[in-house]
């Protein structure tokens, strides 16, 4: 390791579910950058499996973990119903926390966590979508000024608070109040892959779609998503961001250089290992026109986009513990979760709901 190389980040994981495995895979692919120094799981059988498969020591309680090692921070990857208790226990031991989304099931459960932050606890939330390669590139272009004043964002990318997060970041609305109308729609869909792999036969399922309008007053967010979207081969992700001088429509970018000169560009991936390229298989970055709009700092690791985004969360959390800026604060996460709860309320009641300023808003 040279002086220019980043110092390896030692972190722990609390939880052993499907999402926990993302952190284990990232550490395995990038051993010079990350190391899981311990994982907490209540199950002896699960612990034995993780130790045998991943070579990571496991513990049955947080206290046992901390009696053996003190990580730089702990990732909390447990169900939302028990996340607040787990976060509070770690904070009580002085351990910085990177918690999975959402930090709690409802507003009432999230409020005490903000008191912990006020008392000095370091808590960030592992909201990864805005850090994934394509979305990071699209949001960077939106922030660049090329599109002018942003007025609209239409997102069909990810569910609930994840989608709300992209809308708020695309519009740059912060903690502004919003009027939300929403409705649900069901339609048949041929099932695609699931977590276990490809389908083994043709199966029709019911797609449960929610469409919502988030009116921030002069700025509009449109959410459109069904959970079946995540793995469907025939439901594409969509993102539209509009400003008074241009727009992003998925990979296509158009804007005015001046009022007589339109510019048309495409966001393109720069991948290795394609055709005769022998560099290995990884993403180098994304280019729009003549500039990089995303660079992969974790190459040449073979990680998919979601894993690259989570690796970015880990790196930024380490920087935050060292005194660096927040990257997705508990307040941001709570606001996104609060708005998606209102969105669900609008669906169930059929009425327009209006947000109110919450205690976590700056």
pLDDT for 123-152, tens place per residue? 999 999 999 999 999 999 999 999 999 999
Give pLDDT tens digits for 39-78: 999 999 999 999 999 999 999 999 999 999 999 999 999 9
pLDDT of residue 259: 96
Q: What is the mean pLDDT of residues 267-284?
A: 93
Q: What is the mean pLDDT of residues 191-203?
A: 91
Instruction: Please give the residue that has the higher pLDDT: either 312 or 275.
Output: 312
Give pLDDT tens digits for 75-99: 999 999 999 999 999 999 999 999 9
pLDDT confidence band for 228 (50 / 70 / 90): confident
Angle of the 330-349 helix axis to the 107-118 helix axis, nearest 10 = 170
pLDDT of residue 2: 43
Radius of gyration of the chain (CA): 21
The tokens for 226 are 């069904």
pLDDT of residue 7: 87
pLDDT confidence band for 175 (50 / 70 / 90): very high
Measured CA angle at 242 (ends 240, 243), to 5 deg: 160
Q: What is the mean pLDDT of residues 283-298?
A: 97
Instruction: Confirm if 12 and 46 have CB atoms less than 8 A apart.
Output: no
pLDDT confidence band for 264 (50 / 70 / 90): very high
C-alpha 43: how far from its chain's center?
28
pLDDT of residue 6: 75
Q: What is the mean pLDDT of residues 174-194?
A: 95
Domain annotation for the chain: domains and CATH numbers: 9-126+324-328 (3.40.50.720), 130-296 (3.30.360)
Give pLDDT tens digits for 5-33: 678 999 999 999 999 999 999 999 999 99
H helices of the chain, where?
Answer: 20-29, 44-54, 62-68, 83-92, 107-118, 133-143, 160-171, 305-321, 330-349
3-class state of residue 332 by DSSP: helix
Please report, for residues 55, 261, 295, the alpha-carbon distance to residue 132 in angstroms, rounded to integers and kept in the order given. 28, 31, 11
Judge whether residue 253 has pLDDT over 80: yes
pLDDT of residue 1: 44
């Amino acid at each position: 390791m040279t002086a220019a190389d980043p110092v390896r980040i030692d972190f722990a994981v609390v939880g052993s579910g499907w999402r926990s495995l993302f952190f284990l895979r990232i550490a395995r692919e990038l051993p010079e950058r990350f190391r899981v120094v311990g994982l907490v799981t209540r199950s002896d059988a699960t612990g034995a499996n993780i130790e045998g498969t991943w070579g990571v020591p496991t513990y049955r309680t947080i206290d046992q973990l901390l009696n053996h090692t003190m990580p730089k921070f702990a990732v909390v990857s447990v169900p939302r119903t028990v996340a607040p208790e787990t976060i509070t226990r770690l904070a009580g031991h002085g351990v910085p926390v990177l918690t999975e989304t959402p930090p709690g099931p409802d507003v009432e459960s999230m409020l005490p966590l903000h008191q912990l932050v006020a008392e000095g606890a370091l808590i960030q939330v592992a909201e990864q979508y805005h850090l994934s390669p394509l979305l990071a590139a699209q949001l960077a272009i939106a922030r660049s000024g090329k599109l002018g004043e942003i007025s609209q964002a239409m997102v069909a990318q990810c569910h609930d608070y994840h989608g709300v997060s992209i809308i708020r970041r695309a519009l740059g609305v912060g903690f502004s109040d919003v009027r939300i109308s929403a409705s649900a729609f069901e339609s048949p869909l041929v099932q695609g892959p699931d977590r276990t792999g490809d389908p083994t036969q043709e199966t029709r399922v019911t797609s449960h779609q929610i469409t919502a309008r988030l009116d921030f007053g002069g700025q509009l967010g449109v959410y459109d998503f069904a959970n079946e979207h995540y793995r469907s081969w025939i439901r594409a992700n969509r993102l539209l961001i509009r400003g008074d001088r241009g727009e992003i429509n998925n990979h296509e970018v158009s804007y005015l250089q001046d009022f007589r000169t339109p510019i048309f560009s495409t966001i393109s991936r720069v991948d290795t290992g394609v055709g005769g390229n022998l560099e290995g298989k990884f993403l180098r970055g994304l280019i729009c026109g003549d500039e990089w709009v995303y660079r992969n700092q974790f190459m040449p690791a073979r990680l998919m986009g979601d894993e690259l985004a989570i690796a970015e969360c880990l790196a930024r959390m380490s920087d935050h513990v060292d005194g660096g800026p927040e990257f997705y604060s508990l307040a941001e996460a709570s606001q996104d979760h609060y708005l998606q709860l209102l969105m669900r309320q609008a669906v169930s009641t059929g009425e327009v709901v209006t947000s109110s300023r919450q205690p976590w808003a700056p």
